[in-house]
A and B are shown apart, each in its own frame.
Chain A
Amino acid sequence: MTYTGHRVDSAWLEPDEHADLDLLVNGRSVRVQVPARCTLADALRERGLTGTRLGCEQGSCGACTILLDGLPVRSCLTLAVQAEGCELETAEQAPPSRELGALRRAFHEHRALQCGFCTSGFLMLAAGLLRDEPDAGAARVREVLSANLCRCTGGVPILRAVLAAQRELNGGHA
């Protein structure tokens, strides 16, 4: 699960210079005008998509995780201009993707949240994992989930929820 590509034209922009971008967010095309240094998280939040949370702005906590062309990225460490032309998915996605829908149900059933601040990031991290590696084993799921931080639940309820969502998506039963 690594994302290396970017699609920005090579034109040099000063930090404060504004760029016009076409973003595809949750299936809708959104035109934004942002300074070149604006993070993707801030650009989304400015558009009212505040479900993408900022917990550290250092890439450590993962609360800002979204899907960029189907793979999880830290939107606090991604510049908005890097997402030009990319397909973005956030926690607000409606109707939700197959994976996000299953995860929302499982997070509720397995009580995988308390304060909810980390939830969007965990949902998107897990959605990316279950789409990219539908048959990931429990150890792999645990490893990937350790990329994000939760301070309320003790983590295990989140792991349980993601494994339950995986079973549902794979047609199995809990």
Chain B
Amino acid sequence: MTHGYIGAGVERDDRHFLDGTAQYVADVSREGQLHARIVRSPVAHARIVAIDVAEALAQPGVVTVITAADLPDVRIPIRLPMAETPDTHKFLQPPLARGVVRYVGEPVAVVVAADPYLAEDAAELVDLDLDELDVVTDITSAASTGTPLVQPEAGTNLVATVPLTFGDVDAAFARADIVLRDRLRVHRHTAVPMETRGLLAEVDQGTGVLTLWGAAKVKHFTRQALSGMLGIDPERIRVVENHVGGGFGVRGEPYPEDYLIAFLALRLGRPVKWIEDRAEHFVATNHAREQEHDFEVAATADGRLLAFRDRAWCDQGAYVRSQGILPALLPAQHLPGPYRWEAFALEVHGVLTHRTPVGTYRGPGMTEATFVRERMLNRLAHELRLDPAELRRRNLIEPAQLPWNFAPTPITYESGDFPAGLDRLLDHAGYAELRRQRDERRARGEHVGIGLAAYTEIGGIGPFEEATIVPRPDGGFVAHVGVGSLGQGVETVLAQIAADKLGVAMQDITIDHHDTDQLAHGFGSFASRATTLAGNALALAAEDLRSRAADKLGVPSADVELGGGRATAPSGRSVPLSDLGEGWGRFDKPHPSFSFGAVLSLVSIDAGTGQVRVLRHLVLHDVGRAVNPVLLRRQLTGAAAQGIGAALLEELLYDEYGQPLSTLLSDYRIPTVEELPDIEVIVEERPTPANPLGIKGGGESGMVGTPAAIANAVADALGPASGARVWRLPLTPGRVRELLRST
């Protein structure tokens, strides 16, 4: 018996957010806590001659000041085997700079004081004697000989090269009627969750257990990393998740501060708290996306795509952080997209520069790759005098061709119907009528454009998740999972799955995702994987309870019906679910799944100011199966809104000396309700055979095609000559006005 929760738009409980009682990490306090303030490098590259902490240490309320000399020589590890290479260990970051600083914002010392105001005062008095060195800030030349080395011991600024080839590229290019080649550039920007990062660490003096509040996303890995770096058993570390004010990929990775705050709590024997301020956030929390591509596409005169070549340089910043080479690997895996290429060859380089390290931000790699490919497809459509939708339709992989494999690359598409998805998007938009209206407005002298983008998105990355279902004394159940909630409502979605699988009401299920003490293993919330991995693990945990009941009842498991809190045999004999002990499930996902999506954007340009206004924005994504369509739509909408910001407003600028120019929310403009349209969401449900629940994920999808579609719409509004010069983002008023004037 099921209550039919899966597929229902169940509302989550949001009372705590509406009456101010939700507790984020900054709201947690422990008796006797001290406050840490990080002293950060003010320059991009320098030898540390000396650090004088005497004056800071003498300030009222200051308890200690530490530098690298006080720490063991440890590095923040990489958390995904797929993101590691034999060389990546050479580029890892120490928690405090050792001998050399490599980006503005790199932690150099930590001041601990009785109150945050005093800690901040004293941090100003830590005297850094720095001998400035030359910097590298250009990604395309970063790996050339003669450039300053970010990490001289490694002997190179090249972190990794990801080569992927499929088919005979030279032969395909030789057959082409048309070849287009251009440079395209995606800018440095990042997630900017409204809550900055924060941590609170305390050691229980009785048990010696270290508790760290403020973790998110990958709690179990954070515990493992701290265990290795601090040299204490993982069983003595408890990592706790509070309410989280947005993650989007950047929050919850193990950062230098996670180690520093834990180290200080252990050393001082008192609770230590650190709340990142916004100016710190802009230089300390992972940046994302900056890359340049040299992309060449070959096609026939009737619009059949043949092949592409791509060489790309992706910024990793000054160190390789916990996500390893993902900044270079993920663009490579998404360049082919949903099309029937005969061949391709790509080579993506991850390079170091003297700037804040780069990690993943919602739709990582795929957003950049989609921009590059889809811009070039629009250029191609124009050259071939084909409608951009028609060019795509002629080349999308057909459902009968699935599963599709670009062997020997690991890129495989299992399921879906890409052409049907595109058609549905166009129908929903009223494409023919929209084009007519655009032409009419154009005839009146307005700058109006339509942009399209289609994409594939990796999701459901493994290796696995576990879940346990434990009876509560009151007759309900607690389900323990290893993924995290970042404010997206995953606890509601997982409770729907658990309740349906157990045949109980949702109020009888508590989802516990807060605490590493409650579950042995967990990988976390990233790659749109939480619902797929943890949901299927919960389904297996429910199956475990069913087979325990079957043993007790002496019948095959398939004959046992779960419902009303009991497991019932066909004979009518039954046992209470609460008498079966703990249900355990583990869902392994050795291969990721790719899903399809498409975006359409309608924009207008103010000819006087160059300001782009998004008039309509539609996102379609095949999520496999929508467990909670209401929460899912919110994810797709929110991600698309961030994509609009990325396309038009947001940029982390640096000067030639590696000084960041965007360290305030007034310099780094995220979109407000004044800039955002009412985003239209279309959910496709074509279940994947790759997991029993059929889920493909959707937390990031609204982002992936959005900057590409907007760029194509702006190019369309500018007209063919200026439009062809849309090769980089963001399309700020200044840039668009320049393009308009060059007509």
The residues of A with any CB-CB pair to B shorter than 8 Å are 35, 37-38, 45, 49-58, 60-61, 63, 90-92, 94, 104, 107-108, 111, 113-120, 123, 142-143, 145-159
Interface string of B181-205 (1 = CB under 8 A from A): 0000000000111111000000000
Question: Which residues does chain B contribute within 8 Å of A113, judged by CB atoms?
Answer: 14, 17-18
Task: Return A55 CB to nearest CB of chain B, in Å.
Answer: 5
Q: Return the chain B residue nearest A113 by Cβ.
A: B17
Question: Which residues does chain A contribute within 8 Å of B19, judged by CB atoms?
Answer: 51, 91-92, 94, 104
Task: Confirm or deny: B162 has a beta carbon within 8 angstroms of a beta carbon on chain A.
Answer: no
Q: Return the chain B residue nearest A114 by Cβ.
A: B487
Task: Return B277 CB to nearest CB of chain A, in Å.
Answer: 6
Task: Confirm or deny: B270 has a beta carbon within 8 angstroms of a beta carbon on chain A.
Answer: no
Knowing A115-B195, A115-B486, the reply to whether A152 touches B246 (Cβ < 8 A) is yes
Say whether B246 contacts A115, CB under 8 Å: yes
Q: Which single member of A38, A56, A90, A145 contacts B20 (CB below 8 Å)?
A: A90
Say whether A151 contacts B642, CB under 8 Å: yes
Question: Which residues does chain A contribute within 8 Å of B678, judged by CB atoms?
Answer: 156
Q: Return the chain B residue nearest A52 by Cβ.
A: B20
Say whether A153 contacts B672, CB under 8 Å: no
Q: Which single member of A60, A156, A158 contacts B665 (CB below 8 Å)?
A: A60
The residues of B with any CB-CB pair to A shorter than 8 Å are 11, 14, 16-24, 26-27, 117, 191-196, 243-246, 248, 275, 277-279, 486-489, 630, 634, 637-638, 640-642, 664-666, 670-674, 676-679
Say whether A120 contacts B194, CB under 8 Å: no
Knowing A91-B19, A115-B245, A115-B487, the reply to whether A156 touches B24 (Cβ < 8 A) is no
Q: Return the chain A residue nearest B639 by Cβ.
A: A154
Say whether B638 contacts A114, CB under 8 Å: yes
Say whether A153 contacts B638, CB under 8 Å: yes
Question: Which residues does chain B contribute within 8 Å of A57, judged by CB atoms?
Answer: 277-278
Task: Return A39 CB to nearest CB of chain B, in Å.
Answer: 10
Question: Which residues does chain B contribute within 8 Å of A90, judged by CB atoms?
Answer: 20
Sorted nearest first, the 9 A-B pairs with minimum C-beta distance are A51-B20, A115-B487, A116-B17, A117-B245, A155-B673, A154-B641, A91-B20, A60-B665, A50-B27
Interface centre among B194, B638, B665 (most CB of A within 10 A): B194
Task: Return A113 CB to nearest CB of chain B, in Å.
Answer: 5
Knowing A35-B117, A58-B666, A115-B486, the reply to whether A153 touches B637 (Cβ < 8 A) is yes
Say whether B278 contacts A108, CB under 8 Å: no
Question: Which residues does chain A contribute within 8 Å of B275, judged by CB atoms?
Answer: 54
Q: Which single member of A35, A56, A94, A159 contacts B278 (CB below 8 Å)?
A: A56
Q: How far is the CA of A146 from the CA of B673 in the complex (A)?
A: 5
Task: Return A54 CB to nearest CB of chain B, in Å.
Answer: 7
Question: Which residues does chain B contribute within 8 Å of A153, judged by CB atoms?
Answer: 634, 637-638, 641
Q: Which single member of B24, B487, B634 contacts A111 (CB below 8 Å)?
A: B634
Selected A-B contacts with CB under 8 Å, 25 pairs? A50-B20, A53-B245, A54-B26, A55-B195, A56-B277, A63-B194, A104-B18, A107-B18, A108-B11, A113-B14, A114-B246, A114-B634, A115-B193, A115-B244, A115-B487, A116-B487, A117-B193, A142-B673, A146-B674, A149-B672, A152-B487, A153-B634, A154-B641, A156-B676, A156-B677
Q: How far is the CA of A115 from the CA of B642 in the complex (A)?
A: 15
Task: Return B21 CB to nearest CB of chain A, in Å.
Answer: 7
Say whether A151 contacts B194, CB under 8 Å: yes
Q: Which single member of B18, B193, B673 contacts A119 (CB below 8 Å)?
A: B18
Question: Which residues does chain A contribute within 8 Å of B11, judged by CB atoms?
Answer: 108
